[in-house]
Structure 1
Amino acid sequence: MSIDISRYIRVTSGVGAGANLGVRQLNAMLITTNPLCPTGTFLSFASAANVGSYFGTTSDEYKRATFYFGWVSKNVTSPQALNFWFWNEDADVPSRIYGKPNPALLPAFTAISSGSFTLTLGGATHTLTGINCSAAGSLSAVAGIIQTAIRAYSSGGSAWTGATVAFDATRGSFNLTSGASGDDSVAVTAAVSNDLASPLGWLAGAIFSNGQGARTIPDMLTQLNNTNDNFGSFAFMDALSLDEVVSAAEWNDSLPSNVKFMYSVPCTASNASALSSALRGIGGSTLTLAPLAAEYPEMCPMMILAATNYNGRSAVQNFMFQEFDLTPSVTTDGDADLYDSLLVNYYGRTQSAGQNVSFYQRGLMFGLASDPSDQNTYCNEIWFKSACTARLMNLLLALSRVSANSTGRAQILASLQEVIDLALFNGVISVGKPLNSTQKLYITNATGDNAAWHQVQDVGYWVGCVIESYVASGVTQWKATYTIIYSKDDTIRRIDGTDILI
């Protein structure tokens, strides 16, 4: 026996700097009214096949997913995930259960003469007992028996007495819809014996969608942003009114952290002018001509962004001159001039030596003079801002403190330098781009450094950080304020040449 060494020396082990906040994955978000997408739930899929398994292969979600995942960029990269979120079109919706497809066969139900399960609906939880399915002649008849049992619980109110249960032969599932709409929750618990929840497919593998009160577009988007902001662009699958489009665009442009999402809007020849006029001056929105119901060109910029691997060398992309499996919507100079003047993007066709070539053009966005006007510049800044946020948050989480002094300033600048170095590597920051006199004066005024513009032009960036105090709730606190000025990666849309013959 001996005295434990910890009486004299005690060593504690642990992993330092273990916190690791990831950079946002800039995949696409499609906002759907399909009730198979549960309210308040962020759905993400890694393949078109997974989308088809969930929504069905005849769904618009699957058709869009097939187009989305099927595209390969010039850098030989593809989108890695496609996300979905439900919008109730500003109307109350009921709680729903979509059972797991391919439930038990009829003999499994007819063997139960006194079935049971517990259901939560309309604010009430009740155990249903004595459900006799022995005489059911079909799965639809089973659904009717379950519906009758649920409706018999009058104490549950209209959510129970007006509930419907049906067997969906196409999907192969038992589906329940509450008799009341509005904010609510729904849940099912299996019975200890003679359980019906499992054969109905209302346990693991079922889709539970809680009832939800009406949500305006800004309210819905705010809920989405607060729930999960791990996406880079969004679009609505259903056609919106002009006011609804503007409402979504204004919400996106008014976020405290601007340049966070790209909002992609489809238009037709009949509403292109009105939408263009309404979106002028609203940053973060882009408009694409989409005349065919079965094609989705408005998803092109979303796909390019999702397929950009910002960890790769020279990864950034020109959103123009990208080819997709689409029908050209603009084939004349007259139409091209019209839509270019409206800042409407389109899938256009040109030809040389009798060979047609079609590509997405011109990769433009709306906004004020201070907003990025190119899709590639806007999307690159989405990534750059997210990467800086993640690096700085990881710094705060990993260290015991970041001091309000020169040491803290150096730590912050070192964290930012990691992102800057990656931006130089992937092409977000452009080196050697000439600056005009106005840009030089702006950089000088913003930095207070007469030589700063030389660094931006020759090296690609200038970064500074100051430590300063501020007062919040009557208490003096300290913050670090950093400024990064970088040369954005402009892309060439046209080449002019002169042939001189001597």
Structure 2
Amino acid sequence: METNGNISQSQYVAITSGVGGASAATEKELIARLVSANPKVPTNTVLEFGDIDTFGAFFGTDSPEYAFAARYFGFISKSIRKPSKISVFRNTLQSVAPFIYPSQKVAALGQLKDITDGAFILSMGGLTYTVSGLDFSTVADYASVASIIQTAVRANTGGGELWTGATVAFNTKDSVISLVGGEVGDAIIVAPTAAETGTDITALLGWNVATDPIVSQGVSAQSVTELMAKNLNLSNNFGSFLFLEDLTTSQITEAAQYTHNQNVQFKYIQRVLPSNYIEVQQAVAGFTGVSLVFDLYEDNSYPHALSAAIWAAADYNAVNGAPGAEFQKDDAIAPSVFDDETYQKLTGLKINFIGRTQQAGQPISFYQPGYLQGAVEDEGVFMNEVWLKDKIVTAVLNTQLALEKWPTGEDGLTLFDTITESIRSLAKTNGVVSVGKTLTDTQKVYITQLTGDAKAWQQVQTQGDYMTRWIAPKQVNGTTVYVLYYRYIYAKGDQVRKIEGSDILI
């Protein structure tokens, strides 16, 4: 019998520790989502970069991606803030072959020359094949190493063009050896593993899982809608998106239609040129959330980077932190408009640009006019609503995840009031909601009709907002579920765009 121990305290008191009320859902960042056809970007994957140096190391400082990101990360807001992140998604409007691209440099050539029986197992297009008998003892350079591997991969004639047309090549800039399938379209590829016999070379090439290579699946050409649906499904953590490569007017229209259908989730930015701005504007004029940005220069001055950076640098937790688009500066981007005639023409079409004016002989360039196509004209108002909607969605989701259940009675309504009260207060502090805004008679009548409350407009005018909420049953797939509905009416924070005055001398 034990005489030196003690009875466990848990026999009498058992306390389970855990973190309650922790946030599981994170808020959306209003960063840019760049859609790029760069061959290093994997399909079905969202890449995120937190600074221009990391971005440049991945894409190269001579790439068009870097040229865009340099303007984007280079923007400094009036609050002395800059974008903290950018994300990238693969452009699959054209079919893409599966590929493996190492994230580390290939091993020293001397190490490879010691190998006479190199081998690995490769799975591609649903077939698994052992590549073996790789002898690098007489190679003079990395190109020869790549050639030997390519010949061995192509030896799998039963794999069709995907295998027999595969390319293994040495990239001198990154010092890596990559593998690309010989046929574009849907095809799965897996990071190679060690063979049962022979010397495993996957780690030396940077191809095995442990070395974290880029492993990209083959994808058949997608429409803009299919591409964006996949993009959004993988991650909705962005405030605006744009395609780096040029699109046809038809593709631009499809992207605009997709954005419009998402009901103020993000902004679509499209660069337009002197040769196509009228055609494009006419095609997308009716779609909400589309920012057209005029660029005078065919070789791309990247003015649309500023359209994305303004919101990525915003601080919605600060007093008056909700930015306005117009009058934002970035002297690293060349202006495209210099005269009143072009100014009038573009602003009349709600097309944005970087325009140059002067004061006391000093040239001043800034983003203007900050308009969008579609029903919500003001770019700032639109992006503020993107922020506000996401803020409420995140708070509601975290509450659902934290509680055992959301009550259906008065307690459920009170709970909703509690979690939205701080959001409504913040929206008034940061300028998303305008307190004391004078309403027109038409707006007063509309609010009255919408709410059935003759005094609702007074609250919107004096306090900035008015909310009603109720819980009611609803049939969903043949099952009765209880739904909390709410209607939030608020006075949007507008931007003063012009000052007119009279100087009267007595």
8 Å contact kept, 1:23–1:390 = yes
User: What is the CA RMSD across the aligned residues, in angstroms?
Assistant: 1.5
Q: Name the residue aligned to 1:183.
A: 186
Task: Quote the residue 1:328 is aligned against.
Answer: 335
Match of 1:284 among 276, 289, 292: 289
Give the whole-Å Cα distance in 2 for the aligned partners of 1:79 and 1:484. Answer: 30
The correspondence for 1:360, drawn from 346, 364, 367, is 367
Alpha-carbon separation, structure 1, partners of 2:100 and 2:239: 30
Deviation at 1:20, TM superposition (A): 3.1
| 1:196 has 2:204 as partner | no
State whether structure 2 residue 276 is matched by structure 1 residue 271.
yes
After TM superposition, the structure 1 = structure 2 runs for residues 98-113 of structure 1, keeping only pairs within 5 Å, are: 98-113=101-116
Which TM-score applies when normalising by structure 2?
Answer: 0.95
| Structure-1 separation of matches of 2:268 and 2:287 | 11
SS of residue in 2 equivalent to 1:83: strand
Alignment map for 1:18-417 (pairs within 5 Å): 18-89=22-93, 91-186=94-189, 187-191=191-195, 194-203=199-208, 204-255=211-262, 258-292=263-297, 293-324=299-330, 325-368=332-375, 372-417=376-421
**Contact 2:260–2:288, Cα closer than 8 Å, also in 1:** yes
Count of residue pairs brought into register by the alignment? 496
Q: Deviations over 1:186-217 (max 9, x none)?
A: 22114576221122222314222111111111
**Structure 2 CA distance for aligned equivalents of residues 431 and 301 of structure 1:** 27
- 1:183 aligned counterpart, secondary structure: coil
Q: Deviations over 1:108-136 (max 9, x none)?
A: 11100011111111211222222111121
Task: Tell me how far apart the structure 2 counterparts of residues 68 and 7 of structure 1 sit (CA, whole Å).
Answer: 61
Instruction: Give 1:6 deviation, angstroms.
Output: 4.5
Match of 1:334, as an amino acid? E
* Cα offset, 1:172, TM superposition: 1.5
Secondary structure of 1:179's counterpart equals coil
CA distance in 2, matches of 1:170, 1:57: 11
- 1:465 is aligned to 2:472: no
Instruction: Report the Cα distance in structure 1 between the residues aligned to 2:490 and 2:346, rounded to whole angstroms.
Output: 31
- Report the Cα distance in structure 2 between the residues aligned to 1:272 and 1:115, rounded to whole angstroms: 56
> Are 2:431 and 1:427 equivalent residues in the alignment?
yes
The 2-side partners of 1:168 and 1:233 are apart by 33
TM-superposition CA deviations, 1:283-329 (whole Å, max 9, x none) = 01011101222411112221101000112221111110111122221
SS of the residue corresponding to residue 481 of structure 2 reads: strand
**Contact kept in structure 2, 1:253 and 1:283, CA below 8 Å:** yes
1:301/1:375 contact within 8 Å kept: no
Q: Where do 5+ consecutive residues of structure 2 fail to align? A: none
Residue type at the aligned position of 1:261: F
Deviations 1:102-159 (A, max 9, x none): 3112211110001111111121122222211112121111111101111112233322
Instruction: State whether residues 460 and 487 of structure 1, in contact with CA within 8 Å, keep that contact through their aligned partners in structure 2.
Output: yes
- Specify the SS of the correspondent of 2:492: coil
Are the aligned partners of 2:438 and 2:461 in contact in 1 as well (CA < 8 Å)?
yes
Report Cα offsets for 1:359-394 as digits up to 9, x if no partner: 1110000113xxx21110000000000000000111
Q: Give secondary structure in 1 for the equivalent of 2:460.
A: helix
Question: How big is each residue's C-alpha offset from its partner over 1:400-459, in whole Å with a ceiling of 9 and x where there is no partner?
Answer: 111111000000111111211111121111111111111111111111211111111111
Is the contact made by 1:182 and 1:214 (CA closer than 8 Å) also made in structure 2?
yes
Separation of aligned partners in 2, 1:37 and 1:11:
49
Moved more, 239-248 or 166-175: 166-175
Amino acid at match of 1:426: N
Partner of 1:483: 487
Shift in Å at residue 344 of structure 1? Answer: 1.0
Partner Cα distance (1:154, 1:386) in 2: 52
Gap change, CA 1:134 and 1:466, over 3 Å in 2 = same
The SS at the match of 1:432 is coil
TM-score normalised per structure 1: 0.96
Unaligned runs of 5+ in 1: none
